[in-house]
Structure 1
Amino acid sequence: MRFSKMHGIGNDFVVIDARRAPLALAPERIRAMADRHTGIGCDQLLSVEAPRDPSCAFYYGIWNADGSPSGQCGNGVRCVAAWLHRAGALALDVPVRIESPSGPVGVRVLDAQRVTVDMGEPAFEPARIPFLAEAPGTSYPLALAAGDVQIGVVSMGNPHAVMVVDDLADPALERLGPQVTGHPRFTEGANAGFVQILERGHLRLRVHERGAGWTQACGTGACAAMAVLRRRGQVDERVQVDLPGGRLQIDWRGPGHALWMTGPAAFAFEGDWLQDTGR
């Protein structure tokens, strides 16, 4: 099985060409490929496939490092678009719709290593995330082992919890991340984002992803943090988000408008996975 190893500001992927037939891998095989000691190593595995939706040019599947499926991946979709461009399937600066497990997204390849993506309108209704709450709000108390914390919740095609913090280096976050990700009020788990507001147009962010743990970057997490804070009036409509692996630009005018994410996508190496031996 031929693969490409790619990353979006450190959030890394194994990308597989499955345009001739949908990818069918057991969760244990995905976990083996994602293993950083005995496999290729990645946060997510991505497949590039023929579209299910006739309005889209391609479909991409997403699996977390633990073998579980995912609905959306912001850094991943940029890598898929860059992969398709290198394969001669997407032209520069031409808007194209490609299909994710959560539905279509619009992409435009700006150059060989930079892509902008229409991530759709953020969904804040608790039932759409899904998140258990008696009524919609901009902030919710969440009971954790260390006490209650305040979070915002949003779906960017996958569920997110966003918590504003003063210090991203606080050791307490190492414990809070997994607790928020696995909290029972998120019935399908959640990506836990911890955001520091530097200015109205500048954020710093760390994300503990469901199925992958702490990552160098999370594209949908950057979108989620900006969306939650924009809805509260705490940031401007264009924000630079710094993650451990690098910077993303997020643009959102507000309710009724699509949110856009712009950032890099890079190739690391190519290889062959020897399926018959499990390596």
Structure 2
Amino acid sequence: MKFAKMNGLGNQIAVLDARERPITLNASAVEALATAGKGIGFDQLMVLLPPKNPVADVYTEIWNSDGSKVAACGNGSRCVAWYVMREMNCQNLVMETEAGLLGASKVGPNIISIDMGEPILDWERIPMSERMDTMRIELQVGPIGDPILHGPGVVNMGNPHCVFFVQDAELAPVEAVGPMIEYHPLFPDRTNVGFAEIVARDHIRLRVWERGAGLTKACGTGACAALVAAVRRRLCDRVANVEVDGGMLQIEWRKSDNHVIMTGAVALESDGNLNGN
């Protein structure tokens, strides 16, 4: 079975091509594959399957390294788009995921733009366990009178994100606070946790604790969520560069159709056959 090791700005992505030989995975099998040195190693596994929707070119099943299955992965989707476009020798395609249909375009040799669709802002669809204004929810970390973090924005970009705005992303307690918020009772499906610093109206510095993967170098849906959360609070423009540990993504929240467009680089590290098949 063909596979490729790729990265989206340092986010380690494994693409497993199961279109000709569909496979059924479970959490333990995915965890074993995710272990570097024993398996193939990755932050996310993107399994390519025949599309269910006739307008789509490929269906993608998405797994985190801890064996949890998710509906969306922005960096992984860019990698899949590049991989399939190379095979089809085309510049555009439609990818199907559990979160819906995603349109993708190649805008440079290794630059892919993905239409991530409309952000979900309703508390019930995030989902959250309590009714709150998702522009600024009632959640804080630290002493009641002097919290170190408070009032994050919440956005679903195919998966849930909780975005704290901080003065300095480099000093943000990502690894200390990330797991606490990921498993907070407010988020019944767990959540990704972003720590966003507004550098300028067209520049956000972002670090993300990714649900099921921990601190990663890049999170595409997290970058989209950070921009949406910032725009809702009038902290930045609708088009901005989002700087993650692995590099830069350009995110646009279009007024015309309410869709979020993510553009960024991908890299192929190696490809081959899994188990020699």
Q: TM-score range by the shorter chain?
A: over 0.9
Quick one: which amino acid aligns to residue 166 of structure 2? V
Is 1:213 matched with 2:239?
A: no
Quick one: which amino acid aligns to residue 122 of structure 1? P
Conserved 8 A contact 1:47-1:62 = yes
What is aligned with 2:15? 15
Separation in 1, partners of 2:276, 2:158: 31
Report the CA distance between 1:273 and its aligned residue: 3.3
Separation in 2, partners of 1:272, 1:21: 13
- Structure 1 residue aligned with 2:96, among 99, 114, 118? 99
What is aligned with 1:41? 41
Separation in 1, partners of 2:143, 2:21: 48
Report the CA distance between 1:173 and its aligned residue: 2.9
Separation in 2, partners of 1:226, 1:254: 13
Separation in 2, partners of 1:63, 1:128: 21
Moved more, 253-262 or 111-120: 253-262
Is 1:84 matched with 2:79?
A: no
Moved more, 249-258 or 263-272: 249-258
Report the CA distance between 1:271 and its aligned residue: 3.5
Shift in alpha-carbon separation, 1:5–1:124, aligned structure 2, 3 A: same
Give deviations 1:61-114, integer Å, cap 9, x for gaps.
Answer: 100001110110000111001001221x2512x3x3210111101111123311
- Structure 2 residue aligned with 1:113, among 97, 103, 110? 110
Q: TM-score, normalised by structure 1?
A: 0.92
Q: Where in structure 2 are there 5+ consecutive unaligned residues?
A: none
Give deviations 1:111-160, integer Å, cap 9, x for gaps.
Answer: 33111011001111011110123243410121446655221001000000
Shift in alpha-carbon separation, 1:174–1:57, aligned structure 2, 3 A: same
Conserved 8 A contact 2:195-2:206 = yes
Report the CA distance between 1:55 and its aligned residue: 2.0
What is aligned with 2:138? 141
Alignment of 1:179-194 (within 5 A): 179-194=180-195
Alignment of 1:1-279 (within 5 A): 1-87=1-87, 89-92=88-91, 94=92, 96-144=93-141, 149-170=150-171, 172-254=173-255, 256-274=257-275
Quick one: which amino acid aligns to residue 161 of structure 2? H
Moved more, 156-165 or 140-149: 140-149
Separation in 1, partners of 2:134, 2:66: 32
Q: Aligned residues: percent identity? A: 40
Conserved 8 A contact 2:62-2:71 = yes
Aligned length: 273
Separation in 1, partners of 2:213, 2:137: 25
Shift in alpha-carbon separation, 1:134–1:45, aligned structure 2, 3 A: same
Q: TM-score, normalised by structure 2?
A: 0.93
Separation in 1, partners of 2:176, 2:273: 37
Quick one: which amino acid aligns to residue 259 of structure 2? A
Shift in alpha-carbon separation, 1:178–1:254, aligned structure 2, 3 A: farther
Q: Where in structure 1 are there 5+ consecutive unaligned residues?
A: none
Separation in 2, partners of 1:223, 1:160: 10
Give deviations 1:182-212, integer Å, cap 9, x for gaps.
Answer: 1111000001000000000001000001110
Shift in alpha-carbon separation, 1:182–1:135, aligned structure 2, 3 A: closer
Moved more, 128-137 or 44-53: 128-137
Shift in alpha-carbon separation, 1:146–1:52, aligned structure 2, 3 A: farther
Shift in alpha-carbon separation, 1:178–1:60, aligned structure 2, 3 A: same
Shift in alpha-carbon separation, 1:3–1:263, aligned structure 2, 3 A: same
**Secondary structure at the residue paired with 1:55?**
coil
Quick one: which amino acid aligns to residue 91 of structure 1? C
Conserved 8 A contact 1:144-1:179 = no
Q: CA RMSD, aligned part only? A: 1.9
Conserved 8 A contact 2:174-2:209 = no
Report the CA distance between 1:39 and its aligned residue: 2.2
